[in-house]
């Protein structure tokens, strides 16, 4: 994933979480303006780590896109409170469907 692609992914995530902020490409990664927070690709020698999320006093390894988004969400404080849930269903389906074995 290139830095511009990473910036776009993280910008979409911030918008979904209603977190104001601007992302910019910086030092081979992406930085969140107004916060000392940077995400950048890991070196091949760091595998299975794919990205690092860095803030003062902390460098967190992320091995997947999901892990990166979770770490970012916690770092910007968007993980507090109730998370938004996405539900996919057929149009007109009732809301109280019980799944077998549930």
pLDDT reported for residue 93: 66
Q: Hey, where are the domains in the chain?
A: 3-75
Stretch 64-91: mean pLDDT, rounded? 79
Q: What is the pLDDT of residues 4-21, one digit of tens each?
A: 999 999 999 999 988 888
pLDDT, mean over the chain: 85
Note the pLDDT tens digit of each residue in 28-77: 899 998 889 999 999 999 999 999 999 999 999 999 999 999 999 988 88
- pLDDT score of 35: 87
CA dist 2 → 40, 56, 90 (Å): 10, 24, 36
With CA atoms as reference, report the closest residue to 75 among 10, 4, 6, 2: 10
Give the pTM: 0.71
Q: What does the pLDDT read at residue 86?
A: 63
pLDDT at 78: 82
Q: How far is CA 58 from CA 16, 33, 80, in A?
A: 25, 18, 20
Of 77, 75, 70, the residue nearest 38 (C-alpha): 75
Instruction: Give the pLDDT confidence score for residue 82 in this predicted structure.
Output: 57
């Amino acid at each position: 994933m290139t830095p511009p692609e990473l910036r776009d992914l993280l910008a979409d995530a911030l918008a979904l979480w209603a977190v104001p902020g601007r992302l910019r490409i910086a030092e081979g990664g992406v930085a969140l303006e107004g916060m000392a927070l940077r995400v950048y690709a890991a070196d091949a020698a760091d595998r299975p780590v794919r990205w690092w999320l860095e803030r003062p006093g902390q460098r967190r390894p992320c091995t997947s896109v999901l892990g990166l988004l979770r770490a970012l969400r916690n770092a910007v404080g968007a993980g507090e409170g109730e998370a938004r849930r996405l539900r996919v269903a057929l149009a007109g389906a009732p809301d109280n469907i019980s799944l077998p074995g549930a």
